[in-house]
Amino acid sequence: MRTLLALVALATAGPLAANDWAQWFARAERAQRSLNFDGVLVVDTEDDLRAFDVRQRVTQNGIEQSLTALDGDGRRLVRGPQGVSVLMGQGDQRLAVAPLNLTAPLLEPLARAYAVALGSRERIAGRDAQRIDLTPHTADRFAMRLWLDFETGLPLRGDQLSLDGQPLERRMLAKLTVLGFGRGGAAPPVSQLTPLRDGFVTVAAERPVQGLRNSRQWLLTDGVAYVSVFSVQDSAGISAWRHGAMAQQPVITPNGTLVVLGNAPDATLRALAEAVASDE
């Protein structure tokens, strides 16, 4: 679930100031990095409703998380220290996906791109949760509403909203069984944080993509939206699609075709792909 919403900052267990959203994000990072739990994740988009069994375990090698579809094709996704595997009948399709962890330096671009406000205390999955609203300053991003578990800090629900305020996608833990905190490692350092354009920064550049020969991946974020840009040798058969907040599209550039995937408006995805191409 990326891990559910990919909210992360430098962990802290200290007392929370009433208006300190950064400390709430720190608690979310700690929960995603070191909490053992089982649950049922419901993903609701404009034209689709799916449910997944989700399990997270803290191991000596890092976080292992699995999502198994409870309907549809029975697809199973396993996220571990080495990346993400999609397990289906045709075998193991392995993708080099960078961990979606925000460390402290990424709070700055987030604060520049969004107005962040603590909302009310509400109930999600039978648990008390703190609502956080993130409203973009410009029309090239989606807004987000988050609900973090009061006890553990784990993201329980996240809604992404279109430019006109309509719901695009909701990810919610409809059921949660907390098994306790394990000995999670420190948040991985950001080895590279390069400004790209419009508040987006490059977290990882030209990573090799396992299973796709001669392919490379760039991971971009503004602290809320996450965008992967792939340079692929053969883009034949790769089509454009959008499901809720997530979209994929091939973008033709002077340096070849790039495939861009992320939770942002179509024009933003194209602009980011073109920015990556111009930086090559």
Q: Say how many C-beta atoms besides its own lie within 10 A of residue 56's C-beta.
A: 25
Same domain, yes or no, for 129 and 198?
no
Same domain, yes or no, for 205 and 177?
no
Of 164, 128, 171, 115, the closest CA to residue 146 belongs to 171
Per cent of the chain over pLDDT 70 is 77
Task: State which residues form the domain around 74.
Answer: 21-181
User: If you search the block for the tokens 């833990």, which residue do you land on?
Assistant: 173
> Whole-model pTM?
0.81
CATH number (domain holding residue 202): 3.30.200.100
211-226 pLDDT, tens digit each: 667 788 898 988 888 8
Residue 2 lies in a domain: no
69-100 pLDDT, tens digit each: 887 766 777 765 545 444 443 333 333 333 44
139-190 pLDDT, tens digit each: 999 999 999 999 999 999 999 998 888 899 999 999 999 999 987 655 555 5
40-58 pLDDT, tens digit each: 999 898 778 889 899 999 8
- The C-alpha torsion from 242 through 110 and 100 to 249, rounded to 10°, is 20
Same domain, yes or no, for 140 and 234?
no
For 12, residues 6+ apart whose C-beta sits below 8 A from its C-beta are: 23, 26, 27, 30
For 230, residues 6+ apart whose C-beta sits below 8 A from its C-beta are: 209, 212, 215, 216, 217, 258, 259, 260, 261
Q: Rounded to whole angstroms, how far apart are CA atoms 226 and 130?
A: 23
Same domain, yes or no, for 25 and 68?
yes
Same domain, yes or no, for 209 and 265?
yes
Q: Rounded to whole angstroms, how far apart are CA atoms 51 and 172?
A: 10
CATH number (domain holding residue 30): 2.50.20.10
How many structural domains are present in the chain?
Answer: 2
Mean pLDDT, the chain, as a whole number?
79
Same domain, yes or no, for 37 and 172?
yes
Residue 13 lies in a domain: no
